[in-house]
Amino acid sequence: NTEVAVVGGKREHWGSRIGLILAMAGNAIGLGNFWRFPYQAAKNGGGAFMIPYFVAFLFMGIPLLIIEWAQGRYGGRYGHGTIGPMVYLQTKEKTGIKFARFYGALAGALALSVVVLLNSYYNHVIGWTLGYAWETVTGNYMPKDVDTGAYFVGYVQDPARVMVFWLITLVILWIITSRGIQKGLERLAKVAMPAIYVFALVLLVRALTLGSPVNPEWTPIKGLDYMWSPRWNELNWSATLAAAGQIFFTLSLGMGIIQNYASYLRDKDDIVTSAVATASLNEFAEVILAGTIVIPIAFTFLGTEGLKSGVGLSFIALPNVFREMVGGRLFGTLWFLLLFFAGITSSIAMFNYLTAFLEDEFGVERKKGARFVFGLYVITGLPVGLEPILTKTAEFAYLTELDNWVGTYFLVLLGLVEIIAAVWFFGDKGLEEINRGSYWKIPRWFYNLVMRAITPLFIAILLVFSTLDFVKAG
Ligand code: PHE
């Protein structure tokens, strides 16, 4: 099969522009948008969070995203789909081979840790969403005397449901990855992405027309107000760090997976416009859709104080409202299926990253590689799934620890390592690489001022303060 990438031979490419953009949007739009963003924003001051969020998006998110696309396409030209060799190729333009090897290996090792560790919990959360879609269809938590908090604790402590839905998730990822870029990943994106937007629009209308089951004062509009009123006085370091971290997470930056997807571009494919289109689709899904669905729905039940509850927002607060609202079973199911699709289309990027690593660097045939990754995910995910079952709590100490380390810290560190290779070691070639084939060209002043100075500085500051924060907390 000539379509499938082989070592030293022709790598597979995306089949169409729209397929590429949907796949990239699917990569970025994940649980980060619908599950992580609302509770991060709510916990960190709502409107006060949105200020650093947008600043980080413009000066760090967009430039780094474009740089990652270019880095990936460049690596793909030489038959590589993963970070280590990509960083090596760019670094050696400036430094000795020895240093370039070391630097590439560092980047590659960081990326491998991210894709393995992040997935060990992320795929469980995807599994819960599928499980909860099932719970909602069957109406299991609908009776009024069910406490949804206790119900969630019961769910995650039930080995049967946790393991079955998690394994279904892993099998789906495995099968799709086995089929390759065009027949697997691209086809999935073309079905799942439109579904996500349609489901989200339906839910958005429903969310805005809700009444509060608890307190008539708690209207959906007041929930929106909480998120959209800038409160400068509440702006603090921890909100700023959380906001910048969320930009990393939601755009899939510092993970290596944008580069992996970009490695299947053709050499003259547009980068700038496509990357901006992807980022816009992501922000629309996150800020407009997720923000207008989750925050108002949760607000009608919890009010401002309760909004700060965190991780359980989607699984504990929302079910309370689903069972009160007209058509709750239908809307609740749509919500959890939406989460499921969003999760799968992101997680598949990491599954493909590892498969491509085996394929490009070790010549392992794709089907075989995908089987290996499946096994690896089962092993690394098991402790996360077993934790609540064995400890009989739903504190998720291990999951939370992983999310703190990997979900914020590692990404920023890898982001810094790779951007230095792409804009400093690679020098002016970095700009040429971005602009080749691009419909919108990045001007030189922007490259020098923003991409080579402001963005790396932004990331470095973020890293320093995250470290301080970490040391303080630890
Ligand atoms: N951008 C993705 C999200 O928002 C990040 C991610 C990708 C996480 C792949 C896990 C796996 O969810």
Q: In this predicted model, what pLDDT tens digit does every residue of 6-18 receive, in sequence order? A: 444 578 999 999 9
Q: Please tell me the residue having the least CA distance from ligand 1 atom 5.
A: 252
Residue 28 CA to ligand 1 center (angstroms) comes to 6
CB-ligand 1 contact for 71 (6 Å cutoff): no
pLDDT tier for residue 474 given thresholds of 50, 70 and 90:
low
Atom of ligand 1 minimally distant from the CA of 31 = 12
Residue 391 CA to ligand 1 center (angstroms) comes to 28
Q: Which residue has the higher pLDDT, 367 or 302?
A: 367
What does the alpha-carbon distance between residue 366 and residue 43 come to, in Å, rounded to a whole number? 42
Q: Pick from 36, 249, 284 the residue to mutate for probing ligand 1's pocket: most ligand atoms within 8 Å of its CB.
A: 249
CB-ligand 1 contact for 350 (6 Å cutoff): yes
CB-ligand 1 contact for 278 (6 Å cutoff): no
Instruction: Identify the sign of the CA torsion 410, 416, 417, 418.
Output: positive
Q: pLDDT tens digits, residue range 269-310?
A: 999 999 999 999 999 999 999 999 988 888 888 887 777 766
Q: Which residue has the higher pLDDT, 241 or 422?
A: 422
Report whether pLDDT(39) > 50.
Answer: yes
What does the alpha-carbon distance between residue 176 and residue 282 come to, in Å, rounded to a whole number? 22
Residue 32 CA to ligand 1 center (angstroms) comes to 6
List of domains in the chain: 17-473 (1.10.4160)
